[in-house]
Amino acid sequence: MNIQELNSRSTETAESSGLHSRHAASKMDHGFFAGQSTRSLGYRGGPYGFAVIAFKMIWLALAAGFLLIPGMVRAQQYSFQNIAFPGDNFTQLLSINDGDVIAGYHGQAINKGFTLTLPGLNFTSENFPNSAQTQVTGINDAGVTSGFYIDAFGTNHGFLDNNGVFTNVDFAGTTFNQLLGLNNNGQAAGYFQDPSGLQHPYVLQPGGTFNLLSLPGGASGQATDINDNGQVTGFYANASGGDNGFLLSAGKLMTLSVPGAAITEALGLNNLGQVVGFFQNTATSNPQGFIYSGGIFTTVDDPGASQTTINGINNFGQIVGFALVGDQPSTVGFVGSPIAVPEPSLLSLLALGSTSLIGMCILRSRRSLR
């Protein structure tokens, strides 16, 4: 989503809120708070007059409470754990499933894949047989992984690994393929690169068929992840020389662009439609992590890191990625776990408000009887 679209959405939201306000006002024009006296409404003359007034005030307070409480949500906070493959100063965590199993790789010069099981930091090496290098990029809840490897001739191939059974995945007639994410329905997201260097995103369907994705203006780009609802995320090159993220949902492609950023790359998503990735304000600025949820971008960075990239998110909101840390910087993987931020109790707030209103009504009724 570019800045113009964000501004448009903000305007539409404001107009929608205004319509709701006008509707509420029109209803109140004929009610207790429309400037009419309580006597003209016939409440005060009956034997239960003040009780009716009190009841209506309490009901209004309850209704307002239910409308206002959701707006009190605080910004999500995360607890970060930095993780390094034993004996290596280069580790990247790329995907996490709902069972706390993570896909990734280590080694900057020679990539070696692994899966990591939390909380005991149990690494299991995973490399395509006879490959020169391997990255494990995605993992689903059944433990099936996706990734890519480089063979002895320097060619990139995608792969799937189902409990140790590896399957080579290449778009027909191409020599550069990478699978970057998969879901629980047998679908995987990836891309191939043609001889001219243009990248073409696709979705691999069960049975081995490929669906090519269309990008704005036929731009070069990658499909980076797919959730169980068939939503696909990724990024593509824009006209200014940077990248825009995208979210493809029900056949409609929505551009994702952090406001003010020159580069936005969407790298992972969960079944709730939450998207993660990184952005850069300029082409040379340090990457920062983001989470996109419900039309809102939130910056999330590994504390103390000079660079942060978020690569995956599961359905519990746990995020994984990698960061640059230290005076002599090393690349470490990280897991970010949401911290439960206590909210004021709804029942407590409503009880307090109701008690105050009842007391106010009783006090006013006693004064009016004098």
Residue 361 is classified by DSSP as H
State both tokens at 256. Answer: 């994702």
Whether residue 206 is found in the same domain as residue 269: yes
List the chain residues with pLDDT less than 70: 1-75, 341-370
Give residue 69's pLDDT. Answer: 41
Task: Supply the DSSP string of 261-276, one letter for each residue.
Answer: -SEEEEEEE-TT--EE
Interhelix angle for 346-369 vs 49-68, to 10°?
150
The CATH number covering residue 272 comes to 2.120.10.30
Domain shared by 69 and 96, yes or no: no
Q: What angle do CA 236, 306, 277 make, to 5 degrees?
A: 30
Nearest to 133 by CA among 152, 111, 103: 111
Domain that holds residue 363: 3-73+347-369
Residues 277 and 324 in one domain: yes
Looking at the fold, whether 335 and 356 belong to one and the same domain comes out as no
Q: Do 325 and 195 share a structural domain?
A: yes
Give the C-alpha separation, 10 to 21, whole Å: 17
Q: What is the pLDDT of residue 43?
A: 33
H helix and E strand count, the chain: 3, 24
Query: Is 132 in the same domain as 243?
Result: yes
pLDDT tens for each residue of 210-226: 999 999 999 999 999 99
**Span 286-298, pLDDT tens digits:** 999 999 999 999 9
| Judgement on whether residues 251 and 215 belong to the same structural domain of the protein | yes
Measured distance CA(209)–CA(212) in Å, rounded: 10
Structural domains of the chain, count: 2
